[in-house]
Amino acid sequence: MLSNSQTLKSFHSINCNGQLVDLSVPKIMGILNLTPDSFSDGGKFNNEKSALEHAEKLINDGASIIDIGPQSTRPNAEFLDGDEEIRRIGNIISSVKKEFPETLISLDTFYAETVKFGFNEGIDIVNDISGGQFDDDMFDAVAETKLPYILMHINPSYKTMHEKTSFADITLSVNQYFSKKTDELLKKGIKDIILDPGFGFGKTVEDQMKMIDEVEFFDFGNFPLLIGISRKSFIYKPLGKSALEINEETQKLHMKVLKQGAKILRVHDVAEARKTIDDFLK
């Protein structure tokens, strides 16, 4: 396993709208759900006023990226088309950007049309859980924006994304997927790629814990890694707890992935993640 000093020497950066963002020190991505049906905070921030208030809290607690999501991707969530995503977003992206111009905004969507809308509103990063598999126009839309792209490992369709898959070797399978998809992205001219192994999507508890242990081997450091384990069921269900009762366990896992080179933590509880990163950097 890499030491803290070795991890910090592994410099990564991304180009967001002409701004070079240094990832040599890990960053926090705070989650801002605009949905009425998200599994742990549905309906809390789905209007402009409450969204701005929550964005301010996330930033004050230590988030340098706000991930805005108009559609829940939990199991059995309501499926929305791109038009409804755009309607839900409304002026929230531009309002957050106006209020907090130094903060990066990521848009969590798998639709090309939502990406184009978000780009015009001021987003800095595209966060696509589908790896371009739910909308054939996604990679072309991202290429047009020239924004960084978060590539997540997932099953190949919306209907199957939560079906538990049995992998002979989860790390090898995820890396094969990353190799194929990053090659497609690079051919499209998309060079700023962030990898997300896809915790919580179609993987057994055992495989997800194996992924935690083997984070350092994902893509062998060719691209920065984002880890999103916040309030995920593979942590709380085996413990017989709820999504809101696993902060201590989550921070231990965050520390484990940071020591292996994770560059971005995608979280609901920013203050707790900030403390973990501060402890990691000591």
Q: Which amino acid is at 238?
A: P
Q: What is the spatial distance between Cα 36 and Cα 50, in angstroms, rounded to a whole number?
A: 13
Known catalytic residues are 232, 266
Are 87 and 113 in contact by the 8 Å Cβ rule? The answer is no
From first CA to last CA, the distance across the chain in angstroms is 18
For the chain, how long is the longest CA-to-CA vector? 48
